[in-house]
Amino acid sequence: MNTPATRVAVVTGGSRGIGRQVAERLAADGFAVVVNYVGNQAEAEAVVTAVTGAGGRAMAVRADVADEAAVATLFDAAEETFGGVDVVVHAAGVMRLSPVAELDLDDLDRMHRTNIRGTFVVDQQAARRVRGGGAIINFSSSVLGLALPGYAAYAATKGAVEAVTLVLARELRGRDVTVNAVAPGPTATALFLDGKDEETIARMAAQPPLERLGTPDDIAEVVAFLAGPGRWVNGQVIRANGGIV
């Protein structure tokens, strides 16, 4: 049963990796959570089961983040089921790595559609619907500062995410809604580990002064802060990377 005190979070890309950890962490903090997915229904439902099994409230909603009608329906579902939207965590994204000279432009277009258009579409709905005292949290990446070979197209999309984040924070003046981005460094998720040999993983783990890879929980802690007590942090990019840059 909903009460006026119910806080509601929409988490895109919430079916696995960092998005899943964020969804479960926000649920533990008392949020009703809408787990957005595009292709992994079983994994999204597993997140819902984990949340409800721990006494929380959650639902899974399919939506392509770049489809404005689908995203509007996602927000409608959050409002109809839980009464409103207080926090939006936009964690959905795709990554294709290639040197500039060899990049398949279809991969560039796909990253542009999901990472840039998707951020615009989700943030547009969030800007219209997030209640006062709420937060919009986008995801960038620390590769932007590292300038790693092979990451040009992906980093370019994340540069766009940061630009949208900083401008939107200023556009929402007077609304009591914060807008920030989290930029993880190397984090031990399936997306990061896929295709990397042990030597590469060990080298990247040794880069930060803390000498380890990040974990999804490390990133979820930052998101939980921005979604909750971090009300004086606004229009910022938080580089959660163990001190690499």
Q: Any idea which residues carry the catalytic annotation?
A: 154
CA–CA dist 88, 134 (Å, integer) = 8
CA–CA dist 23, 11 (Å, integer) = 6
Asked whether 176 and 169 are in contact (CB, 8 A), the reply is: no
Secondary structure string (H, E, C) spanning the chain: CCCCCCCEEEEECCCCHHHHHHHHHHHHCCCEEEEEECCCHHHHHHHHHHHHHCCCCEEEEECCCCCHHHHHHHHHHHHHHHCCCCEEEECCCCCCCCCHHHCCHHHHHHHHHHHHHHHHHHHHHHHHHCCCCCEEEEECCCHHHHCCCCCHHHHHHHHHHHHHHHHHHHHCCCCCCEEEEECCCCECCHHHHCCCCHHHHHHHHCCCCCCCCECHHHHHHHHHHHHCCCCCCCCCEECCCCCCC
CA–CA dist 139, 240 (Å, integer) = 11
Which residue, 121, 41, 117, 133, is CA-closest to 85? 133
